[in-house]
Amino acid sequence: MKKYFFKEFSKKSGVLIPFSLNKNIPIKTKRIFLIYGNKNFIRGDHAHYKCKQFLVPVFGNMEIEYENNDGKFKINLNHKNKKGILLKSKTWCKIKFKTKKCILMVFCDREYEFNDYIEKYQDFLKIIKKKMNLLITGCCGHIGSYLAENIHKIKKIKKTILIDNLESNRFYSLFNLKEKNNLKFLIRDLKDPKSLDDLKNINFVIHLASMTNAEKSFGKKDIMYENNISCLKTIIKFCKRTKAKLIHISSTSVYGKQSKVVDENCEEKFLKPQSPYADIKLIEEKMLKKEKKNLKYNSFRFGTIAGVSKGIRFHTAVNKFCFNAAISENINVYKTALNQYRPYLSLKDAFKVFKFCIEKDFFHNDVFNALSGNFTVNQILNKIKKYKKKINVKLIYSPIMNQLSYHVSQKKLNKHGLVLNCNIEKDIKDTIKLLRNI
């Protein structure tokens, strides 16, 4: 559980500890109440379905016992430490006052709702241990195939439905999948708005079905637009009907050519997508934002993907460079790009994003950057050289290839407790190893 500390301002006349609802209270506060109690009194002893609560000791010493799907925990709060803790929804909480005349202040992100209370501990245990069902679209792709192989690592998932239209002919992504993953595969084309009408009892959707390849999107903008927007419309319709929570994949390429560190607060007028693919991703984000009252979702701006999976593709920078190096072909780099930074994301970190959202029930109807690190093209090439000594770099012109230059911040996601830092060099080593005998 994350702890929050407060500043104090002391004078001889006393101490001031200010609270700003917009700055140092980590939830949007709808309600505040105070709890008074004497030594050894017990309060709380219940959970909430939806309400999050931020606990701040005003006076005295108290012990907080809490339990959620992460486990059981105990923490002491004392007004002298100027520390508060945030309790997420579906957390059983028991408060024991350790000194006389204790006072606890509680900030809530919802108004009082009688039906939001979970009063019986056995009912609470059934809720947090409940297994859920997942739908993965685009399951045969680079990210989808890795996710399908590793889905058993997400504790809350009971059954997974895999969807793909198989237009890419990557049947091999479905070979030898583990029985313990409890998977079912369906051939569906999400451009058909009725393609998911027969599905029900789905709790989460990870939407990966879209045309990618930013460089080639210049020659097929209309086709890509029709495909990707139609697919997302079908997914939004499905999530609204089933109340499934959605993980949507956007791209850091929406930032385009930038000279400073960029984050999710970058104003739209400063977003400079450099390809039709990136333009479409921004449109998708706006579509979801319009539906924020009707569904729960996160949109993740992924860095350029690196890493090995059954459905690996070689059109993105790291993988393409590795392939060209392995077969001693030229690695084409835009002339001025060698020392420009770009964001990259390991497949392992992409999986961590999915796991975190589902296991922590992390859905904020917001946009988050997701990357393992920012690297220059030259740094990527030097990592490749460690495993392929001789590489041929050719400087070229392209309307997209390596033109994008920006340093992307991941502080927003870090503040929520998810740190992505998998080793891109390990992904490079594994990719080159795949091609070692050619």
The whole-angstrom separation of Cα 202 and Cα 194 is 16
Q: What is the pLDDT of residue 1?
A: 53
37-53 pLDDT, tens per residue? 889 999 999 999 999 99
120-142 pLDDT, tens per residue? 999 998 888 778 899 999 999 99
Domain parsing of the chain, residue ranges: 3-128, 132-434
The residue with greater pLDDT, 347 or 217, is: 347
The residue with greater pLDDT, 330 or 269, is: 330
pLDDT at position 282 over 90: yes
Q: Token pair of 282, please?
A: 């921004």
Mean pLDDT estimate for the chain = 89
2-22 pLDDT, tens per residue? 555 666 677 777 767 666 777
Quick one: what percent of the chain has pLDDT higher than 90? 64
The whole-angstrom separation of Cα 229 and Cα 234 is 9
The answer to whether 157 touches 247, Cβ cutoff 8 Å, is: no
H-type helices in 97-165, by residue range? 121-128, 142-150
Q: Does domain 3-128 have CATH number 2.60.120.10?
A: yes
Q: What is the pTM of this model?
A: 0.76
The answer to whether 263 touches 412, Cβ cutoff 8 Å, is: yes
Which superfamily is assigned to 132-434 in CATH? NAD(P)-binding Rossmann-like Domain (3.40.50.720)
Residue 302 pairs in a beta bridge with 251, 370
- Which amino acid, residue 290? K
**Torsions phi, psi for 231 (to 5 deg):** -60, -45
The whole-angstrom separation of Cα 157 and Cα 136 is 12
Q: What is the mean pLDDT of residues 54-61?
A: 93
pLDDT at position 402 over 50: no
pLDDT at position 401 over 50: no
322-334 pLDDT, tens per residue? 999 999 899 888 7
pLDDT at position 297 over 90: yes
369-397 pLDDT, tens per residue? 999 999 998 999 999 999 988 888 888 87
- Report the residue count for the chain: 438
300-312 pLDDT, tens per residue? 999 999 999 999 9
Instruction: Tell me which H or E stretch contains 235.
Output: helix 221-242
Q: Token pair of 83, please?
A: 């520390």
The whole-angstrom separation of Cα 160 and Cα 183 is 5
